[in-house]
């Protein structure tokens, strides 16, 4: 069975975090002020106070001033919170009335639009990644050696014997064709998402 929310919890949720914190602070100050009144009564009866109680007693003017300030701020803040809650309720009801439940066709269209947006962002990332991937001339040799090493590793993955060296040479042109197709694919993609064809994308010139 679901438990019902207590009145204090519902009031705290309706007041908002700022007003709720102010109310807690005001209650703490009032408790401290009541302790000060009790200490003053004890002093009037001739009782002595320890150092901590004397410090609390000396803070009486500051506590009174804080209580007055919180009381002055509490009323306009509570009115502002209630006004905000009313406006939020009106806005939520108007939004729900203007935007009924979407149809399956609208949901499919939204999903398609999100996919298109993701693909467009990926292509833009590829474009700018290739555009700004400028390496100095001194790294050209090391880059080519690294690519050659990676290619040899891929070719020799399934061929671990010396008898397969001739087969590796036969398969070389096929991998050259794969490399050329990859370059053609990149050029096609970059041409399709070039600044002249993509609105809002800055030109590399």
55-98, pLDDT tens digit by residue?
Answer: 888 888 998 998 888 888 877 777 777 787 777 776 666 555 55
Do 131 and 204 touch, CB atoms closer than 8 A?
A: yes
Residues 137 and 178 in one domain: yes
pLDDT tier for residue 10 given thresholds of 50, 70 and 90: low
Residues 47 and 116 in one domain: no
Residues 55 and 127 in one domain: no
Q: Which residues of 182-199 are buried (b: 16+ CB within 10 A; e: fewer)?
A: eeeeeeeeeeebeeeeee
Q: In the chain, pLDDT over 90 holds for what percent of residues? A: 3
CA distance 43 to 49: 8
Quote the mean pLDDT of the chain.
Answer: 70
> Does residue 16 form part of some domain?
yes
pLDDT in tens, 36-49: 999 899 888 988 88
Distance set, CA 140 to CA 129, 144, 197 (Å):
18, 6, 31
Residues 79 and 132 in one domain: no
Q: Which domain holds residue 70?
A: 7-98
Residues 93 and 111 in one domain: no
Domain count within the chain = 2
Residues 141 and 91 in one domain: no
In the DSSP assignment, the letter for residue 156 is T
pTM higher than 0.85: no
Residues 109 and 132 in one domain: yes
> Does residue 2 form part of some domain?
no
> Does residue 197 form part of some domain?
no
pLDDT tier for residue 205 given thresholds of 50, 70 and 90: very low
Alpha helices in the chain (DSSP H): 7-15, 17-44, 51-58, 60-98, 104-131, 140-155, 165-192
């Amino acid at each position: 069975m679901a438990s019902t929310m207590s009145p204090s919890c519902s009031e705290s949720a309706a007041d908002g975090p700022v007003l709720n914190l102010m109310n807690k602070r005001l209650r703490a100050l009032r408790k401290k002020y009541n302790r000060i009144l009790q200490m003053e009564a004890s002093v009037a009866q001739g009782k002595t106070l320890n150092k901590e109680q004397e410090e609390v007693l000396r803070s009486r003017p500051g506590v009174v001033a804080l209580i007055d300030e919180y009381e002055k701020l509490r009323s306009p803040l509570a009115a502002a919170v209630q006004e905000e809650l009313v406006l939020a309720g009106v806005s939520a009801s108007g939004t729900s009335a203007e935007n009924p439940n979407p149809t399956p066709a609208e949901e499919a269209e939204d999903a398609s639009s999100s996919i298109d947006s993701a693909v467009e962002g990926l292509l833009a990332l590829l474009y700018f990644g290739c555009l700004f991937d400028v390496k100095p001339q001194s790294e050209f040799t090391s880059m080519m050696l690294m690519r050659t090493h990676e290619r040899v590793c891929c070719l020799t993955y399934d061929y671990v014997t010396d008898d397969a060296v001739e087969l590796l040479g036969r398969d070389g042109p096929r991998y050259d064709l794969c490399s050329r197709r990859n370059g053609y694919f990149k050029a096609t993609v970059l041409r399709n998402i070039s600044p002249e064809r993509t609105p809002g994308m800055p030109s590399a010139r």
